């Protein structure tokens, strides 16, 4: 039985420090996978928070990574055209992919131009199976955290929460672009590493609930992110970590290196 490791929480003074440290951690994870396996499969997060992480990854670590060995996927996508301002693919392209020498063939966006999100989800799952094999083991999954406790596009009370068989499904979001594609929780939990990047006071309650409350995927999907044979690191700023007692907090070092535990 694989051990479920205790999640590590790294706390940084602000979004810039958090982004620099998380970018350093992502670069290290990409390098480690390439050195160990010869290639790396990473699923990117969407939303606003990761933009600065992607920018720093390109600016400060772009030459450290064998991009020709890295394959880029997405953890979720709004069902909009790839050039839509709300597209998670467009976010990553602007902030990272257009700024590093990654072959176009290594970038695998979720197909959002088909008439049916459900068929697009099936198509993306088939692509994942071709790349990952019989088990969806990403080397790294990046996630954000919604104030309501969602991760990727697995929202509280959504049928997606209970999906155990499929790797990718089409869902309805409660807000924003409503039609989405998302990895499922079991797929996220099969990753070798999961990084959840959280910033801002509006996330403090959701972060505290994810770390200190019971595992309750229905009401708080983030609480169910527990890699079954992998590691989980929460990258946060002080504002988001404001409700965490000392025992849950590691003071992040600027380089994103080994965190020091603070408190009892």
Contacts to ligand 6PG by CB under 6 A = 45-49, 76, 78, 88, 144-146, 150-153
**Smallest gap, in angstroms, from Cβ of residue 3 to ligand 6PG?**
27
Nearest distance in Å: CB 106, ligand 6PG: 21
Q: How far is the CB of 47 from ligand 6PG (least distance, A)?
A: 3
Nearer to ligand 6PG, 50 or 227 (CB): 50
Instruction: For residues 16 and 52, give the distance between their C-alpha atoms in angstroms, rounded to a whole number.
Output: 7
Q: Two tokens at 138?
A: 């990403």
CA distance 152 to 106: 21
What separation in angstroms does the CA of 163 have from each of 142, 150, 183, 234, 247?
20, 15, 10, 24, 33
Q: Among 100, 34, 46, 98, which Cα is nearest to 73's?
A: 46
Say which residues have a Cβ less than 8 Å from residue 34's Cβ, sequence separation at least 6: 40, 65, 66, 69, 70
User: Measured from the CB of residue 234, what is the shortest distance to ligand 6PG in angstroms?
Assistant: 13
Nearest residue (CB) to ligand 6PG, 78 versus 193: 78
Given its phi and psi angles, is residue 2 left (phi above 0), alpha (psi -120 to 50 degrees) or beta?
beta
Q: Which of 163, 183, 182 is nearest to 173 (CA)?
A: 182
- State which residue, 152 or 161, has the beta carbon closest to ligand 6PG: 152
Instruction: Classify burial at 176, counting beta carbons within 10 Å of its beta carbon; exposed 0-12, middle 13-18, buried 19 or more.
Output: exposed
What's the closest the beta carbon of residue 261 comes to ligand 6PG, in angstroms? 26
46 or 69, CB closer to ligand 6PG? 46
Q: Which residue is nearest to ligand 6PG (CB)?
A: 144
- Nearest CB to ligand 6PG, comparing residues 69 and 235: 235
Which CB atom, from 13 or from 174, has the smaller least distance to ligand 6PG?
Answer: 174
Supply 259's token pair.
């965190």
Name the minimum Å distance from CB 74 to ligand 6PG: 8
Measured from the Cβ of residue 104, the count of other Cβ atoms closer than 10 Å reads 6
Nearer to ligand 6PG, 49 or 187 (CB): 49
Report in angstroms how near the CB of residue 196 gets to ligand 6PG at its nearest: 9
Bridge partner list, 41:
71
């Amino acid at each position: 039985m694989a051990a479920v490791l205790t999640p590590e929480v790294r706390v940084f003074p602000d979004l810039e420090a958090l982004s620099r440290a998380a970018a350093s951690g992502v670069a290290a994870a990409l390098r480690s996978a390439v050195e160990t396996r010869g290639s790396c499969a990473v699923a990117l997060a969407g939303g606003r928070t990761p933009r600065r992480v992607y920018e720093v990854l390109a600016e400060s670590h772009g030459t450290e990574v064998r991009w020709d060995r890295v394959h880029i996927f997405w953890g979720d996508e709004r069902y909009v055209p790839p050039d839509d301002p709300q597209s998670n693919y467009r976010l990553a392209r602007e902030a990272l992919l257009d700024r590093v020498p990654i072959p176009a063939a290594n970038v695998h966006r979720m197909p959002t131009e088909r008439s049916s999100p459900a068929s697009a989800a099936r198509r993306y799952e088939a692509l994942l199976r071709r790349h990952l094999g019989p088990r969806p083991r990403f080397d790294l999954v990046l996630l954000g955290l919604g104030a309501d406790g969602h991760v990727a596009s697995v929202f509280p009370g959504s049928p997606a929460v209970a999906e155990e068989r499929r790797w990718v499904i089409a869902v309805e979001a409660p807000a924003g672009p409503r039609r989405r594609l998302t990895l499922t929780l079991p797929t996220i939990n099969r990753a070798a590493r999961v990084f959840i990047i959280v910033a801002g006071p509006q996330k403090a309650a959701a972060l505290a609930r994810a770390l200190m409350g019971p595992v309750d995927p229905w009401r708080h999907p983030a609480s169910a992110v527990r890699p079954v044979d992998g590691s989980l690191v929460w990258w946060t700023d002080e504002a988001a970590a404001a409700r965490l007692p000392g025992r849950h907090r590691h003071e992040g070092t600027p380089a994103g290196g080994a965190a020091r535990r603070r408190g009892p």
